[in-house]
Structure 1
Amino acid sequence: MKERAVGFTLLCALIPLAVLGYWLLVWIGFFGPNARGRAGVRALDNFVNATIFNGYAWESISSHAWRERDKRWAKVVIRLTDKFQPGHCQRANKREQPVVDLIRKSKLDSQTIF
């Protein structure tokens, strides 16, 4: 119960900042430095992967799709990204899988609030 209470409190504080961050990301996308825009999009990608696709918070949708490539949603993501960059999901997974393995091996994904 304590973890849920802390999570809810953080959520109430973070949602307004996330909305502000999204609009700032849109602004940066048009007028700001490319590196900052890429970092923001990467963070948004990880957020969507963790919330919508029930993946790891430190992994992109593309890498997750390659790991789960036998599932319908993953096949759609792979097919879509292949239209823009063939082999994108496989390369993303090759780059990110060592990080996933390290975090899971180190148990950094386990519950921290009891």
Structure 2
Amino acid sequence: MTTEEKAKAYAEKELIRAISRPAHPLDHLAPYFDSKDVQQAYLAGATEALASQWKDPEVELPEDDRQVLVETDCEDKELRHAISYFLAGAWHFPDDWYYDCRVLKWMYIPPLKGGDA
């Protein structure tokens, strides 16, 4: 399910809840919002949540030898994102394509839903 589909489903669920049983403190505002407003709020929150997972390598580094997702300064856009790890004071890539790339930001790889990662 895409983020947009999740936003639509969330909006529909919240609007039905607000109409069927007004128990939430903000339910009196429901008539002022429509499905599109709720979807936009969901998308904005999802975008912010994902964006805030990125970390600046000048401020924080991952645990040694733990694989993370990185964004690099490589010119080729197909190569900008890669799996990497930080060890002994340097970034290491399993693929030689990135030998001259600098890490701009990194994030821990989120676990799959229902997974153990």
Larger radius of gyration: 2
For the aligned pair, the TM-score class normalised by the smaller chain equals under 0.3
Ranked by relative contact order (alpha carbons within 8 Å, sequence separation 6 or more), the top structure is 2
Greater strand share, structure number: 2
Give the alignment's TM-score, normalised by structure 1: 0.22
Give the alignment's TM-score, normalised by structure 2: 0.22
Greater helix share, structure number: 1
